[in-house]
Amino acid sequence: MSIQLVVFALDDEEYGIDVSAVNGILRSKKFKIQALPGTGRGVEGMINLRGKVNYIFNLRSKFNLVEKEISEESKFIMLNANGSTTGCIVDEVTDIVKLNDDEVQPAPDFINHGSKNCITGIGKIDDRMIIILDPEKIFIEEAMGGNCGL
């Protein structure tokens, strides 16, 4: 068995999401994000994608990373999760890789507890380590005010 990951970058770290959950990638500079009042810092706002409202999350607050302006290269990764299409802002989509099972190391127990955790494992390509995220959980946790256990 193998999985294919869409690899993206946030600061210097690489993250991966199973390609089957990815609806598509958008260039953030092509869209205007409209803020949603009363939501946490994790919710950047909403965009109008071909006539449909899609919500955009900012993983930086969720991952306790330093806040950063949306740049020229920033992308939205649109995910099919929880029955809807939701996006998250990433610095750049760097790659699409195919990993065999032996190249994926499941997340250890000490972080893999409860339903809060969104890390499913670590993908290894040579020296690179890719944090594989669970698309179902990265948004749910935000909605409940959690921080993904990172």
Partner 1 sequence: MAQYQNINMNTIGNGLDLSSVKLADVIDIAFLQQFQDDFAKGVGLASVTVDPEGTPVTDPSSYIRFCRDYTHSTECGDNRCAESHRKGGEEAARTGKPVVYECHAGLIDFAAPIMLEGRQIGTILGGQVLTAPPDEEKYRRIAKEIGVDPEEYVKASKEAAILTKERIEAAANVLYIVANSMSKSAYQQLKLKSMADTLNDSLHQVSATMEELAASATDISGNQASLNNEIKNVNEVTGKIDQVMDFIKDIADETRLLGLNAAIEAARAGEAGLGFGVVAQEIRKLSADSKETVGKIKDLTTIIKVSVDKTVHMGGETTSATEQQAAAIEEVTASVQEITSLIEQLNDIANDK
Which of 47, 48, 70, 49 has its CA nearest to residue 59? 70
DSSP 3-state percent helix, strand, coil across the chain (nearest 5)? 15, 50, 35
From candidates 9, 19, 70, 125, binder to partner 1 by CB under 8 A: 19
For the record, the structure tokens of 133 come out as 């995220």
CB of 61 to partner 1, least distance (A): 25
∠ CA 117-123-125, nearest 5°, is 160
Within 66-95, the residues that bind partner 1 by CB under 8 A are: 73, 75, 93
Please identify, using beta-carbon distances, which residue of 93 and 107 lies nearer to partner 1.
93
String of contacts with partner 1 for each residue 26-65, x by CB under 8 A = xx--------------------------------------
Taking CB under 8 A as the rule, does residue 6 contact partner 1? Answer: yes
CB of 11 to partner 1, least distance (A): 20
- Cβ contact 119:112 at 8 Å: yes
∠ CA 138-40-45, nearest 5°, is 80
Q: Which residues sit opposite 104 in a β-bridge?
A: 123
Please identify, using beta-carbon distances, which residue of 21 and 33 lies nearer to partner 1.
21
The DSSP code for 62 is H
CB of 7 to partner 1, least distance (A): 10
Q: Please state, in angstroms and rounded to a whole number, the distance separating the CA atoms of residues 34 and 3.
A: 34
From candidates 11, 20, 34, 100, binder to partner 1 by CB under 8 A: 20
Q: Which residues bind partner 1 (CB under 8 A)?
A: 4, 6, 19-20, 22, 24-27, 73, 75, 93, 96
